[in-house]
Amino acid sequence: MFQRSASLPGLTQKDADMPGQQQVTLPTLEAYLAAKHNRLAFPPEIEAVYDQQMYSYRQKVMTRVIVPTVIIYNLFLVADYLLVPGTFLLATVLHLALVTPIMLAAAFVYPRARQQWMRDLSASIIPFLMVAQIMFIYASNAGAGAGADQYQYLAVTVVFYMNVNQRFGFRFAVSSTLLLVITYLAVLLPGHSPFEVKFIGTSLMLSAAYLSLMANRRMEQDVRFNFLRRLRDQLRREGAEEVAKRDALTGLPNRRMLDEVVHALWADEARQDTLVAVVMADIDHFKSFNDRYGHATGDVCLKRTAGTIAEELRSERDLAVRLGGEEFAILLPETDMSEAVRVAERIRRRLEGIAIPHEAFGPRGVVTASFGVAAGPISAHGFAELLAGADAALYAAKRSGRNQVWPPFVSKGNPVAVLRGQPAADDSAAETAATAQRKRR
């Protein structure tokens, strides 16, 4: 709930929900960029993210080009009328009643197909049907003379359309191009045209196949390289943002991340009736610990305390934060007072149990902490009010002897604790009161 996932470039929410999504770390990406590769195949974890991005990108391409493609394809009927008028009616029926509906159906299926092979099939059927229709009309005009011989050259333009406009991945483009070339030659070579036409047609088709595939390959290399650079930049940016939201010493989230989480939680209309608890924790007599053992050892103590708190959180929904110095806060969503007290008590016992020496209180003295808890429904309490209530409870625990959770016992029937004499007039006043009490400690 409180861990932000990196949104990769071009990755939509639908992509993120697709099975098999893998995480790419910045060190993995940096190591791959430092090596020399042809950039047409990534390591599996990078390839998975790239495929997810290209799924979204090619879906947009299909949506954008399908209408112009249908229009241009049907304009080919002008060539039918001029070059092979004897089959113009047949060509019109094939265009409008067969090929065009299948093209539109393929464009409809493509974004809804979950398997890659289904998307590839639905996309590749468009150029295949165009070539098949052209060569069928060509074969139906045996004896029609030069017009039919010129008509079959239209198939060459389809190869360029497929490899440059549809932008299949290079490997799939090779197999699709091979299918188109075989279809074309299978009709042309045994056909009715003279040798010169067959030679020119074969040369044009093979040249178009080669040139368009090289263009496709170069474009895919550029797309993949740009993808790597954008992904690296985004991971670096997200890494910097993550560092800015973490306490440098303990690694726990800091107040900046807490503020983001609180804002999102209180702004969620669906959670207004749910309970939330805030726990304040403070290491007992930490100043005397620093004075006796030194600040370096004090830093170690803070790290171990932070680690203990983090280990005792129930799930990723809970958030532990270092507020500063030896003071920590824990945000527990969907938690009533009694459960929050149990969580705090478990952390208190665990910290006491790891027995960090604090010999200022005798040879067997150990580091302990005091805890204050406040809880209530989101709709009735602002975060600053709950934080001030937990801080007041922490102050009460300190006054009552330290190394304890306050309130010491709360029944499930009373999930909201009023820990001060008067509720805060507003969130700002509540936070000011909490700050003043922390200074007095």
Percent of the chain with pLDDT over 90: 53
The pLDDT of residue 38: 63
Contact by Cβ (8 Å): 298, 289: yes
- pLDDT tens digits for range 134-155: 999 999 998 778 899 999 999 9
- pLDDT tens digits for range 347-405: 999 999 999 998 877 778 899 999 999 999 998 889 999 999 999 999 999 999 999 99
| No. of helices (H) and no. of strands (E), the chain | 17, 5
Neighbours of 97 (CB within 10 A): 9
Structure tokens at 315: 């799930």
Highest mean pLDDT among 176-190, 305-319, 407-421, 422-436: 176-190
The pLDDT of residue 4: 38
**Residue 239 amino acid letter:** G
The pLDDT of residue 42: 82
Residue 8 has pLDDT above 80, yes or no: no
The pLDDT of residue 439: 44
Residue 3 has pLDDT above 70, yes or no: no
- pLDDT tens digits for range 73-86: 999 999 999 999 99
Residues 245-261, mean pLDDT to the nearest whole number: 88
Q: ∠ at Cα 331 (325, 332), nearest 5°?
A: 145
- pLDDT tens digits for range 241-252: 777 778 889 989
Average pLDDT in the chain: 83
pTM over 0.75: no
Torsion of CA 123, 127, 130, 136, to 10 degrees: -110
The pLDDT of residue 436: 46
Reduced to 3 states, what is the DSSP secondary structure of residue 156? helix
Residues 278-293, mean pLDDT to the nearest whole number: 92
Residue 36 pLDDT class (50, 70, 90 cuts): low
Reduced to 3 states, what is the DSSP secondary structure of residue 281? strand
Domain annotation for the chain: domains and CATH numbers: 13-235 (no CATH), 255-440 (3.30.70.270)
